[in-house]
Amino acid sequence: LRAHLTADKSSVPFREMAAELNMSEGAVRVAAHRLRRRYRELLWDEIAQTVTTEDQIDQEIRDLFAALAR
C-alpha cells in the first residue's frame, strides 16, 4: 500500500494488490485511503512542531510538496 501514498502512476493497481493480499479491491482501496489519511495527520503533526501558526503549517506542506515534485 505504501506506493499509494503518493500519486505515483507506476504503483501496483488496486485489483492486483487485492489478489496478492487476498482482499477485495474495495477493502484495499479503503486501506489505502486510511493509510493516506494517517500519513497526512502524522505529517501535519510533525510540521506543527516546527512553526508557530496553522497558516505556516499549510504553507510548509505546500512548499514540501513543491520541492518533492521537482
pLDDT score at 7: 61
Instruction: State the residue for C-alpha cell 510548509.
Output: 60
Tell me, yes or no, if the pTM score tops 0.75.
no
**Per-residue pLDDT reduced to its tens digit, 8-67:** 666 788 999 999 999 999 999 999 899 989 999 999 999 999 999 999 999 999 999 899
pLDDT of residue 69: 82
Residue with cell 486501506: 31
Residue 18 grid cell: 487485492
Q: Which pLDDT band, with edges at 50, 70 and 90, does 68 fall under? A: confident
Q: Packing angle between helix 14-21 and helix 25-48, nearest 10 degrees?
A: 100
Domain map (residue ranges) of the chain: 2-69
